[in-house]
């Protein structure tokens, strides 16, 4: 199982910054992946994570809602703000 640290995100709209607007992620090694790639990899047991300001690894999961494309978000933790949206943009 590969382990991938997400360090940056790209949004389709800065006016509505929600996790379903994330279109690409940049990994620690500089690789850029589309959300459809990340969803496929996570659904096939690859591990993606974000590191919060305390140095904790927060796991990323996929969401498959009816009627819209799948997207990613961090698993529930002690904050109500989604951690991925706090990452720098590229």
Q: What is the pLDDT of residue 54?
A: 84
Question: b/e per residue, 41-78, with b = 16+ CB within 10 A?
Answer: bbeeeeebbbeeeeeeebebebeeeeeeebbbbbeeee
Asked if residue 7 has pLDDT above 80, the reply is yes
Q: What is the pLDDT of residue 17?
A: 80
Give the bridge partners for 47, in sequence order.
Answer: 3
pLDDT tens per residue, range 18-40: 888 999 999 999 999 999 999 99
Q: What is the pLDDT of residue 44?
A: 96
Q: What is the pLDDT of residue 79?
A: 62
pLDDT tens per residue, range 35-83: 999 999 999 999 999 998 888 899 999 999 999 999 999 987 666 566 8
Look up the pTM and report it.
0.90
């Amino acid at each position: 199982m590969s382990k991938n640290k997400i360090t940056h995100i790209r949004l389709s709209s800065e006016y509505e910054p929600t996790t379903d607007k994330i279109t690409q992620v940049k990994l620690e090694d500089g690789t850029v992946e589309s959300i459809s790639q990340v969803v496929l990899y996570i659904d096939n047991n690859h591990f993606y994570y974000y590191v919060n300001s305390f140095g904790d690894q927060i796991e990323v999961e996929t969401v498959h809602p009816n009627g819209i494309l799948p997207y990613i978000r961090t698993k529930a933790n002690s904050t109500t703000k989604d951690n991925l949206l706090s990452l720098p943009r590229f």
